[in-house]
Amino acid sequence: MKTSQIVTPAALLTALLISGHAAAAPVTVTLTDGSWDLGSGWGAACASAACDGSHTQLNVDWTVDSALAGTSFLLNHVGDTQTLRFGSSLFAEEDGSIANSEIDNLGLAAFLHFSSPTLGLTNNTAIVSATVGLLKDTGPLNRDLEVSFNSVLLNFASGGEIGIDFSPITWNCQGTAHCTYNKPVNQWIDATFTLLHDALPVSTPIETPAQVPTSVPEPSSIALLAAGFVGLGLSRRKMLVTVPRFA
């Protein structure tokens, strides 16, 4: 027999185990909504010079894109990405400067609410940096307000992971009255989703032939059977009759 035609028990078992696992399916991501969590140091974008007379808040509108709710997409393979518009931020101060009293309590976080591949939400917290002084400065190093977001992981099923990253934003308010109520400056904010790990496949049980139960006599039944054989032997001995022999 040719060795190439021999199928060993180990190879057969391996083939059965492989066939009992389903391939990783595409991951459906569905968003129900998004939201912002703002610290008390943020105020609404100014529409006039009188909006923040005490100069105690940084005036930025944080909004969520209306098309985000109900968005659904597929991530087919590990490494696949999808980028969505999360929202925007409109910077408009009441005057042409950031005061020292306007840079406190600038906590910020972006929330994503999911219905698939799991029910729950993620929280991308932000690091905010505001520079005290005039907004009309010029030059490439003039960054009046910067926001960057921490990356988070969305875990789903058994071992599945999706990385979520938000785009950083920067305001370099060059030019006359930029970043004030006269010339508000808007920045778009995107969220990128990356499939980092597939969920572990669900094992499909391998069917085995039904076993026919074999009855094993109990000790008492064996004793009765033995007694029966002994009785049969005695009765046969009693049935032996000696026939006299005649000369």
- Sheet strands (E) in 100-241: 108-116, 120-130, 133-134, 145-149, 152-156, 160-166, 169-171, 185-197
Taking only the tens place, the pLDDT of each residue in 226-238 is 555 545 454 554 4
Q: What is the pLDDT of residue 199?
A: 93
**Does residue 11 have a pLDDT over 80?**
no
Judge whether 89 and 65 are in contact, CB under 8 Å.
no
**What percent of the chain clears pLDDT 70, i.e. is strictly above it?**
70
Taking only the tens place, the pLDDT of each residue in 12-44 is 444 444 444 456 799 999 999 999 999 999 999
Phi, psi of 101 (to 5 degrees): -80, 0
Q: How far is the C-alpha of 97 from the C-alpha of 3, rounded, in Å?
A: 84
Taking only the tens place, the pLDDT of each residue in 62-112 is 999 999 999 999 999 999 999 999 999 999 999 999 999 999 999 999 999
Q: What is the pLDDT of residue 141?
A: 66
Judge whether 204 and 16 are in contact, CB under 8 Å.
no
Q: What is the pLDDT of residue 176?
A: 77
Going by their DSSP bridges, the two strands 58-64 and 81-91 should be labelled as: antiparallel
Mean pLDDT, residues 132-158 taken together:
88
Q: How far is the C-alpha of 164 from the C-alpha of 225, rounded, in Å?
A: 77
The domain ranges of the chain are: 27-197
| Mean residue pLDDT across the chain | 83
Taking only the tens place, the pLDDT of each residue in 166-221 is 999 999 998 778 999 999 999 999 999 999 999 998 665 656 666 655 555 565 65
| Exposure of 82 in the CB half-sphere (CA atoms within 13 A) | 17
Judge whether 162 and 75 are in contact, CB under 8 Å.
yes
